[in-house]
Structure 1
Amino acid sequence: MDNKDSQSNSGYKRTLTNTHIQVIALGGTIGTGLFLGVGESIHRAGPSVILIYIIVGVFLFLLMRALGELILSDLSKHTYIDFIKKYLGKNIGFITGYLYWLSWITLGMAETTALGIYFQYWFPNLKPWIPGLITIIFLLLINLISARLFGNLEFSFAIIKIITIIAFVILVIYLLITGGKTTFGPVTLSNLTNHGGFFAKGGKGFLDGFQMVIFSFIGIELIGLTAAEAQNPKVTLKNAINQLPVRIILFYVMSIVA
C-alpha cells in the first residue's frame, strides 16, 4: 500500500461498496428536477429541452471526468473543497465551501417544498411543512448512525426512482405502438414538432430552459464526495463517472422524450 492509500484510510471507515456507489451515482442524477421541475423546463423551452439535456449532459460528463481525476490523484483529500484550499488558498476554499453549503440549503428547501406539493396531491388538507420536517429528521438520524445504513437506504430509494422512470418510458412506448390517447390528445412523435415546432418557444425559450435543466443536475458532484466512504474508490469512482453519459441518455433524455 502506498502512502496515499494509507492516508486515505485514516479517520474514515470505508463501508460503501461498488454497488452502493453505482446506484447512488445514478440516483443522485434523478430527483425533483426531473420528476417535478421538468414541467417548467418543457414550458420554457418546448421540445428543444431534449437538446438542452444532451448539451448539459456532455458538459457535466467533462466536468465529472476532471473532478474524478482530481480526487483520485490524492485520496487523502475527501472533497473538491480540499483541493481548492490546496491549489488556490484557504480563503478561496473557505468562500467556496460556504457557497456550496448555501447552494445545498437552497436545494434542500426546494426538495422539501416539492415533498409538500406531492403529499398535498393525496392529502389536500395536510400542511406542506409537515412531511418536509419529518423527512429532514429521518435523514439526519440515518446519517448519524452510519454511512453503510445511508448507502443501503439510498440504494433502495434509487431503485424506486429507476423503476418508476423505466415503467413510465415503457408505458409511453406501449401507447406509441398501440396509438393510445390521453386527455391531451393522441400519443405520437409528431407532438415534438406539431405545436410550434421543435423550438416552440424560440431562441429565448431555448436559453431559458438551461436554468431549470442545470438545476435538475445539482447533486451529480456527490459521486466525487463518496470517495471518502468507498471501499475501493479507484475502481468505483472511475466506473461511476464513465457510465455517466449512459445514465443521462437512458434516464433523462428518454424520459423527457416520453
Structure 2
Amino acid sequence: MSEPTKMKRGLKNRHLQMIALGGAIGTGLFYGSTSTIALAGPAVMLAYLLGGIVIFFIMRMLGEMAVDEPVSGSFSHYATKYWGKFPGFLSGWNYWFNYVLVSMAELTAVGIYMQFWYPDLPQWIAALICLVVITAINLINVKLYGEFEFWMALIKIAAIVLMIVLGLYLLLSGPLSFPDNFRNIWVNGGFLPNGWWGLAMATAVVMFSFGGIELIGITAGEAENPDKTIPRAINQVIWRILLFYVGTMAVLMALWPWNKVGVDASPFVQIFSNVGVVAAAHILNFVVLTAAVSVYNSAIYSNSRMLYGLASKDEAPEFLGHLSGRGVPVKGIFVSSGITLICVALNYFFPGKIFMYLMSIATIAATISWMTITITHLKFRKYCKEHGKETKFKSPLYPFINYVCIAFLVGVWYFMLQIPDMELAVYLLPVWLLVLWLGYCYRERNHQKG
C-alpha cells in the first residue's frame, strides 16, 4: 500500500464537540481549582466567567481562519501564511511544547487520583500505564481516537451534570431553606474574601483550565464538512464550558466553606466525602481519573498533528511528516508520547511536587498560543480586506476585541508574577522565546546551506 498524502477526514461533529470539551474540562477544573478557590474564594465563579468569555472570542478568531482554510497544523499554518515564518515556527513548536507540559500534568494527576484507592501505589507506575494504553489507542486510526475521546468526555460531562444535580439536592433538602442554604457563598469573608486582587490572580490561574479548547482548530484537517462542523462546535462548546465551570463552582462553594477546601485530593472528592456521600466520592474519583486520561489522550493526538503540520512546512524533521497506511502520523505520536516519559521520571524522583510547576509553565505556553492566534487574526483580516475576500464565519467585534484579548493576556502574565508558585514560569518566558528564535535561526541557516 502506498503512503497516503492526506490525513483521513474521520471526525464527525459529535467527535469535535467532545474533543473540545474533553480538552478543556480536565485537571484544571477537577484538581487545579483548589488553588483558584484559595485565591478568590466564592468569586472563583467570576474568574471562570471572565476567562471563558475571553477564550470564546479567541476561539471565534481561530474558527474564522479554520473554516476559511481547514488544514492540519491550524494556527501555525495561518501564522506562517499571514504573519511570517518565525511566528509560524514559534506558534507551532510552542503549542507542541504546551501540550507536552499538559500531558505531564495530566499524567501527574492520574497518579494522584489512583492514590485515593491505592495509597501505596507509586505515582510513576500509574502514569506509565496510562501512557502506554493511550499511545496504543492513538496509533490505530483517527476514528478510534475520536470514539474513545467521545465516550471519555461524555463520562465526565455526565458526571458534572449529575454532581450539580446531587449538590442542588443536598442544598435544597437540608435543614436550611433558601437563601440560607447557599450562605457559604457570602459568609466566611464575603463573596470576595481576598478582594479584587485575589480575583485577578485567580483569573490568571484559571486560564490553565481553558488550555485545550483551541484543539478544534487542530482537528480541522480531519473534520468532515468543516464549513458546518467547526462553527457549530465552537458556538456550542463555549456556553457548555461556562455552564460546567461556573455552575460547578457555584454548587461546590455553596456546599462547603471555601476556606476548608484542602489540597490532598480533588475538591470534588473531598467535599462529597465531607458531606457523607461516600459512594459519590468514589464515583467522582473515577470521573476525575477519566478526565485526566481524556485530556492526555487529546494531548497526544494534537501534538502528533502539530508535528505533522510543522514537518509539512519543513519546520520539523522530515520523518515526522510521514503517515501510516491508515493516515496516522505514527512517528509523531511516538515522539510526543515518548517525551512525556520525562513526567514518569519526575514523578518517580519528586512525587507530589511537580503539578503546580507544570500547570504554571503550561499556562504561559497556552497564552503564547492565544496571543499568536489573536495577532494572526488581525493580519488575516487585513489580508482579506486587501484582496476583497469575504469569510464564512466572521469573528465578532473585530478589531476591538482583538486588542482587548491582547491586553487581557498581558494582564495574565502580570498577575502570574504575583503568585510565588507561578512567577518562575513568567521569568522563563523570554528564555523560551529565545530558544525558539535560536531554533528558527538554525533551521534557516541549514536551509540556506542546502
TM-score, length-scaled by structure 2: 0.53
- Shift in CA distance, 246/219, structure 1 to aligned 2, threshold 3 Å: same
User: Displacement of 1:76 after TM fit?
Assistant: 4.1
User: Displacement of 1:249 after TM fit?
Assistant: 2.7
- Equivalent-residue separation in structure 2 for 1:66 and 1:180 (angstroms): 48
Map of 2:182 onto structure 1: 189
Matched residue SS, 1:188:
helix
- Bigger shift: 60-69 or 14-23? 14-23
Amino acid at match of 2:199: F
Map of 2:83 onto structure 1: 88
**Structure 2 stretches lacking a partner, 5+ long:** 252-450
User: Displacement of 1:245 after TM fit?
Assistant: 3.1
Whether contact under 8 Å (2:73, 2:92) holds in the other structure is no
Map of 2:286 onto structure 1: none
Map 1:134-173; keep pairs closer than 5 Å: 134-173=129-168
- Bigger shift: 17-26 or 54-63? 17-26
- Equivalent-residue separation in structure 1 for 2:43 and 2:182 (angstroms): 14
- Equivalent-residue separation in structure 1 for 2:71 and 2:27 (angstroms): 33
Whether contact under 8 Å (2:12, 2:223) holds in the other structure is yes
Map of 2:209 onto structure 1: 216
Map of 1:6 onto structure 2: none
Map of 1:240 onto structure 2: 233
User: Displacement of 1:28 after TM fit?
Assistant: 2.1
- Equivalent-residue separation in structure 1 for 2:210 and 2:189 (angstroms): 27
One of 34, 48, 51 as aligned partner of 2:46: 51
Map of 1:252 onto structure 2: 245
Higher relative contact order structure (alpha carbons within 8 Å, sequence separation ≥ 6): 1
User: Displacement of 1:244 after TM fit?
Assistant: 2.8
Map of 1:31 onto structure 2: 26
Map of 2:97 onto structure 1: 102
CA RMSD, 1 decimal: 1.7
**Structure 1 stretches lacking a partner, 5+ long:** 1-8, 182-186
Runs of 4+ in 1 over 6 A off after TM superposition: none
Map of 1:205 onto structure 2: 198
Matched residue SS, 1:113:
helix
Larger Rg: 2
Whether contact under 8 Å (1:230, 1:236) holds in the other structure is yes
- Equivalent-residue separation in structure 2 for 1:230 and 1:77 (angstroms): 10
Map of 1:184 onto structure 2: none
Whether contact under 8 Å (1:12, 1:228) holds in the other structure is yes
- Bigger shift: 133-142 or 191-200? 133-142
- Shift in CA distance, 75/116, structure 1 to aligned 2, threshold 3 Å: same
Superposed CA deviations along residues 42-100 of structure 1, whole A, max 9, x for unmatched, are 11111111111111111111110110001111124641100111112222211222221
- Equivalent-residue separation in structure 1 for 2:100 and 2:219 (angstroms): 19
One of 106, 115, 118 as aligned partner of 2:110: 115
Identity %: 44
One of 55, 58, 75 as aligned partner of 1:60: 55
- Equivalent-residue separation in structure 1 for 2:13 and 2:96 (angstroms): 27
Superposed CA deviations along residues 202-245 of structure 1, whole A, max 9, x for unmatched, are 22211210232100111010011111111111111111111133
Matched residue SS, 2:9:
coil
Whether contact under 8 Å (1:71, 1:78) holds in the other structure is no
- Equivalent-residue separation in structure 2 for 1:148 and 1:180 (angstroms): 50
Superposed CA deviations along residues 143-165 of structure 1, whole A, max 9, x for unmatched, are 11100000010011001101110
Whether contact under 8 Å (1:33, 1:212) holds in the other structure is no
Amino acid at match of 2:201: D
Superposed CA deviations along residues 12-36 of structure 1, whole A, max 9, x for unmatched, are 2101112111222222221000111
- Shift in CA distance, 154/180, structure 1 to aligned 2, threshold 3 Å: farther
- Shift in CA distance, 55/123, structure 1 to aligned 2, threshold 3 Å: same
- Shift in CA distance, 30/79, structure 1 to aligned 2, threshold 3 Å: same
TM-score, length-scaled by structure 1: 0.90
Q: How many residues align?
A: 245
- Shift in CA distance, 119/153, structure 1 to aligned 2, threshold 3 Å: same
